[in-house]
Each structure stands twice: as C-alpha cells, then as structure tokens.
Amino acid sequence: MPTTATPSIAELAKLDLFESVELRTVASLLRGSPVRSLAAGDLLISAGEPNRFLYLVLSGRLSVRLRSPQAAPITWIGPGETVGELSLIDRAPASAYVVVEQAARVVCVDEDLTWMLVDTSHAVASNLLRLLARRLRLGNEMLSDERDRLAEYRFHATVDGLTGLFNRYWLDRMLPRQIERSRATGESLALVMVDVDHFKRINDDFGHPAGDRVLRQVADILRDNLRPADMAARYGGEEFALLLPGCGLRDALALAERLRRAVESMPWPESAGPAPGTVTISAGVGTMDDVASAEQLVARSDDALYRAKRAGRNRVAT
C-alpha cells in the first residue's frame, strides 16, 4: 500500500545510494515520493515489463528471480540496498522478477527524480555507479558459474561415471568426425571393440561390486596402453570401443593383442575383496577401408568381436 510519508533522515542514512551525501537536501527532494508497504509474496518488478522507478529498500527482504517468480532466487536485496536501477537507466524491459520475501518498505523514486538526484549530487552519481558496478559484477559471476555448470554437464554427458572413459554418447558423435578427418587427410583409422569375457558369470559368482572393479581395472589398462592420439570409450555394459586414428590393420591388431595379454595378467589386490580369478577379453578389429559410414565401421568391428567370441574368447579377430 503506497503512502506519502517521507523517510526519516535516519532511514536515508542507511541507504548505500546516499553514502557521504547531504541528507537534508535529499530528504527535501524525496518529499512526495511514495513509500510502499509490501507484503510477503508481492511482486515489485516483473521481467519483460518496463520499469520507471528506482526502489530504495528501507526494511524487509526481496529476492531476484529469473525465469519466473517461482524460480530459485539468484540474489537477495535487503535494507539499505536499491533495486531497479538497471532497467531504469537503460529504459529496457526488466530482465528479472523482484519478489518480496519478508514484509518490506520501499521508497519509489521515479525516473525524473532519480536523474535530478544524480545532477544535484556528485556523491549520489558516484554511489550509483558503484551500485551498477556491483550489479554487473554479480552478473559476471553468474555467467562464470553458468559456464562452469555447462562445462560440468557436458563432461558428465560424455564421460562414463564408473570407468572415467568416454561414453557411447561421445563415441556416436566423435566417430563420424574421425572418419571424415581420415578421409580428408588420407590417414587410416581403426576401431577395436572389446568385450569382457563371461562378465555375467563374474557378477553372478562374485557380486556386482566385483564386476565394477573388473570394469574399472580393464578401463585403466586400456587407458594406460593407448597412444596419446587414441581414444577409449565404454560402449555399454562390459563392452568398450577403442578409436585409433592413423592406425592400420596390422598395428591395430598388435595393440589389441597387447591389451588382451595385459588384461589376462592383471593382478588383483587382496584388499579389493573376492578376486574373480583370471579375467580375459575378446577383441574385434575393423578399419575404415571401403566403409561408407560410422555405422558400417561399428558393424565391421562388432562382427570381428563376435568371431573372436565364437572361436573360444580371449583372442583378437578381424
């Protein structure tokens, strides 16, 4: 509910905008500016709508929210602070909602009077610039936080949480790019599909925690034995995919065989719980010779993997 009661000198002295300002002059200029009493839940400023007031918060607590009045607050406005200065100055629609959290009293300073205060007092102009800088700094911090969150989301969208390798989503997007790159440069490209042999039996006999340890250790061996340019992904379940740029069939077979032997001989620390005995892998190697698409390269490598498994597992096939 608006009133015409002029804020007291003591109340004006608590406002950041009037730091080091001759308050009697300010009080005289503010005479007649409405002081609104707001209840919790009231909406002071609406995003997308014009705002022609600078609000001086005498008491209470306000929140600033972006997408809707029900969204999570991004910051809080308390006694002594101002709100509405950005949309007032640039005369653009407000970019956020300002919601009353606790019953509040605000002085509503219209656009003309705001500029009169600035013209009348160098201190007011200086304080307003400082308040704007604080708002811009908050905006920069929010943008930085948002970038960090987006980077984290992208990371989790492309990295398998159990093994730390890339995931199927990543591979589905990277493989076509690598094929196009290989075609452009004339380099060879190999894809190796790897499957942990009898993995269901490991889970059934030793439990899923033991199965997870197997997957992590196999992933570590793959990661540690690849060249810097090679890439490894968890394709799904107990299956992995190795993307080997610049690698022909012979070199890919040699690498797959080296990985197979490393997995077969990997040690199990006693502190890790029940050891599943000897773990082995089967691998299928495909190259992009005469391959028209990423799907065909995956199918070729999968066919080779099934050939290795049908031949008795713990082997590499093409």
Is the distance from CB of 124 to CB of 117 less than 8 angstroms?
Answer: yes
CA distance linking residue 232 with residue 242, whole number of Å = 5
Q: Which fold has domain 2-150?
A: Jelly Rolls (2.60.120)
Is the distance from CB of 87 to CB of 94 less than 8 angstroms?
Answer: yes
Per-residue model confidence as pLDDT tens digits over 299-316: 999 999 999 999 999 999
CA distance linking residue 166 with residue 156, whole number of Å = 9
Rg of the Cα atoms in the chain:
33
Is the distance from CB of 297 to CB of 191 less than 8 angstroms?
Answer: yes
CATH architecture of 168-317: 2-Layer Sandwich (3.30)
The residues carrying an active-site annotation are: 238
Per-residue model confidence as pLDDT tens digits over 20-32: 888 888 888 888 8
Q: How high is the pLDDT of residue 23?
A: 85
Q: How high is the pLDDT of residue 148?
A: 62
Dihedrals phi, psi of 4, to nearest 5 degrees: -110, 10
The highest-confidence range among 65-69, 190-194, 225-229, by mean pLDDT, is 190-194
Confidence class of residue 157 from pLDDT cuts 50, 70 and 90?
Answer: confident
Q: How high is the pLDDT of residue 282?
A: 96
Q: How high is the pLDDT of residue 1?
A: 52
Is the distance from CB of 79 to CB of 107 less than 8 angstroms?
Answer: no
CA distance linking residue 152 with residue 147, whole number of Å = 9
pTM value surpassing 0.85: no
Q: What is the arithmetic mean of pLDDT over 7-22?
A: 87
User: Which of these, 229, 227, 314, 221, lies nearest to 259 by C-alpha position?
Assistant: 221
Q: Which amino acid makes up residue 53?
A: F
One-character DSSP codes across the chain: -EE-PPPPHHHHHT-GGGTTS-HHHHHHHHTT--EEEE-TT-EEE-TTS---EEEEEEEEEEEEESS-TTSPPSEEE-TT-EESHHHHHH-PPPSSEEEEEEEEEEEEEEHHHHHHHHHH-HHHHHHHHHHHHHHHHHHHHHHHHHHHHHHHHHHHHHB-TTT-SB-HHHHHHHHHHHHHHHHHHT--EEEEEEEETTHHHHHHHH-HHHHHHHHHHHHHHHHHHS-TT-EEEEEETTEEEEEEET--HHHHHHHHHHHHHHHHT----GGGSS------EEEEEEE-TT--SHHHHHHHHHHHHHHHHHTTSSSEE-
Q: How high is the pLDDT of residue 100?
A: 94
Q: What is the arithmetic mean of pLDDT over 78-89?
A: 88
pLDDT of 156 higher than 80: no
Domain ranges of the chain: 2-150, 168-317
